Amino acid sequence: MRKRRGWLRTGTVPPGPVTTGDVLAEAEALRVRLGAREVLSGVAVEARAGEVLALVGPNGAGKSTLLGALAADLPASEGVVRVHGRPVSDWSAHELALRRAVLPQSASLSFPFPVEEVVRMGRAPWAGRPEEDQDDAAVASAMAATEVTGFAGRPFSALSGGERARVALARVLAQRARLLLLDEPTAALDLRHQELVLRICRERAREGDAVVVVLHDLGLAAAYAHRVVILCAGRAVADGAPSEVFTDRLLSDVYKQPVEVFPHPRTGGVMVAPVRGS
């Protein structure tokens, strides 16, 4: 462990080393209530270092709620959520910020900060620590990876929806936390940028981070996730490699819509498509 600097942070535990396969986030028998409704009823998931985990499922299945619980935004009414091996309630907000980064579903900003300053906000947790020296490099590489460098000086409020989404992702990447929780990072993006974002997820996993990503596009999940958890009505109904858990019957059941799963004619990769009348 490095020596800590600054009297304000004396209690902060710096993040330890992470090796591939470590469980960086896990939920155990997790139940979450939002108001009177139980949104998650007994879910168990594990996010491991070196792995892209996709959360999929129909609207209202509890994907974002699960992500929110893993991010420590939502309290568990029962069960436990651990981040880096400790229950989330044992970490301070600052300690969590050194360990996990979260991309919310929609990005908004109260004041018109320029793009580069927004991305730089991702470095805030490292202020006053040795890692602060990497600020410039982290910001620059995050902006380059998400292709937002070209409008670094423009105010965030002047960007299109897709550009904002990429800037928000750049901020999350710049944080350089070992656990990434991304809520629908591809929702506002065009085809090319959807691919770009998931390639970034794979890249981060290859470098040993744990990536949890909520996705609606099953094709993207099949192509890029190491592991998929299918949620349905607040329960995890499947957990495994896309090629194992994506089956015609399960997906048709879960989505209440006939779905077919077939190998790509050229690459053999898993393809998912709704069955449509011809």
Partner 1 sequence: MSVTDRTASQAPEDPAEAPPPEAPAPEAPAPDTPAALARGGVTRPRRSATWLLTVGLAVVLLLLTLTSAGLGAYEISPGDVLSSVAHRAGLGGGELARVPESVLWNVRFPRIVLALLVGASLGCAGALMQGVFGNPLAEPSVIGVSSGAAVGAVAAISLGLSFLGTWTIPVFAFVAGLGTALLVYATSRSGGRTEVVTLILTGIAVNAFAGALIGLFIFLADTAAVNQITFWQLGSLSQATWPKVLAVLPCAVAGLALAPFYARKLDLLALGERPARHLGVDVERLRIVLVLVVALLTAAAVSVSGVIGFVGLVVPHLLRMAAGPGHRFLVPGSALGGAVVLLAGDLAARTVAEPAELPLGVLTALFGSPFFFWLLRRTRRRQGGWA
Contact positions toward partner 1, by CB under 8 A? 71, 73, 92-98, 100-102, 104, 106-118, 121-122, 124-125, 127, 136-137, 139-141, 143-144, 147, 149-157, 159-163, 175, 188, 190
Contact 142, 122 (CB under 8 A): yes
Q: How far is CA 80 from the centre of its chain?
A: 19
> How many whole angstroms separate alpha carbon 64 and alpha carbon 58?
11
CB of 199 to partner 1, least distance (A): 16
CB of 209 to partner 1, least distance (A): 16
Which of 94/226 has CB closer to partner 1? 94
Q: Which two tokens mark 189?
A: 């993006």
**3-state DSSP call for residue 224?**
helix
Query: Is the distance from CB of 230 to CB of 237 less than 8 angstroms?
Result: yes
Cα 246 from chain centre: 21
The DSSP code for 41 is E
In terms of CB distance, is 175 or 227 closer to partner 1? 175
Please state, in angstroms and rounded to a whole number, the distance separating the CA atoms of residues 43 and 202.
25
Cβ closest to partner 1, residue 82 vs residue 100: 100
Q: Least Å distance between CB 278 and partner 1?
A: 31
Whole-number minimum distance, CB 116 to partner 1, in Å? Answer: 4
User: Could you tell me the smallest distance in angstroms from the CB atom of residue 126 to partner 1?
Assistant: 9
Residue 165 Cβ, how far from partner 1 at the closest point, in Å?
Answer: 10
Closest to 249 (Cα-Cα) out of 261, 235, 240? 261
Whichever of 27 and 238 has its CB closer to partner 1, that residue is 27
Residue (144 or 273) nearer to partner 1, CB: 144
What residues have CB less than 8 Å from 207, skipping those under 6 apart? Answer: none
Extract the runs of DSSP E, i.e. beta strands, from 215-277.
Answer: 227-232, 235-240, 259-263, 270-274
Pick the closer one to partner 1 by CB: 143 or 222. Answer: 143
The rounded distance, in Å, linking the Cα atoms of 107 and 239 is 29
